[in-house]
């Protein structure tokens, strides 16, 4: 009962021909095919852009060794800019 039977497809084809006419159906199918190709190429382009952006982000990282070292043993009375450092100092 829940399956798609061959006569369902036949009725659908007849209804489409009656609604749109035999001349317009090939044009509609052609334009639908073009739209699907455009959509597929755009999705593929977006995926390539995403992969390129991820590769660029990984290559753009700088090593932690190049950052200045902070002496955590030195306590100063000046307020720190980092809230976690303020808690650590107090």
SS (H, E, C) 17-39: HHHHCCCHHHHHHHHHHHHHHHH
The pTM of this model reads 0.44
DSSP H or E run through 11: helix 6-20
Say which residue, 54 or 84, is predicted with more confidence.
Answer: 54
Who's near 25: CB < 8 A, 6+ residues apart?
16, 17
The tally of domains found in the chain comes to 1
Whole-angstrom distance, CA of residue 72 vs CA of residue 88: 9
In angstroms, the CA 72 to CA 12 distance is 76
Q: Are 90 and 78 in contact (CB under 8 A)?
A: no
> Can you tell me which residue has the tokens 């199918």?
29
Asked if residue 77 belongs to a domain, the reply is no
In a domain, 12, yes or no: no
Question: 66 lies in a domain?
Answer: no
Has residue 43 been placed in a domain? yes
Residue 48, in any domain of the structure: yes
Tell me the pLDDT tens digit for each residue of 13-71. Answer: 899 889 888 888 888 889 999 999 999 999 999 998 888 887 777 766 555 565 555 66
- Per the structure, the complete domain to which residue 35 belongs is given by 22-56
């Amino acid at each position: 009962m829940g399956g798609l039977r061959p006569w369902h497809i036949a009725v659908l084809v007849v209804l489409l021909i009656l609604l749109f006419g035999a001349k317009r159906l090939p044009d509609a199918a052609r334009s639908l095919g073009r739209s699907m190709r455009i959509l597929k190429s755009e999705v593929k382009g977006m995926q390539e852009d995403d992969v390129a952006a991820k590769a660029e982000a990984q290559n753009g990282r700088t090593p932690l060794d190049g950052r200045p070292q902070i002496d955590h043993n030195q306590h100063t009375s000046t307020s720190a800019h980092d809230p976690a450092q303020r808690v650590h100092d107090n």
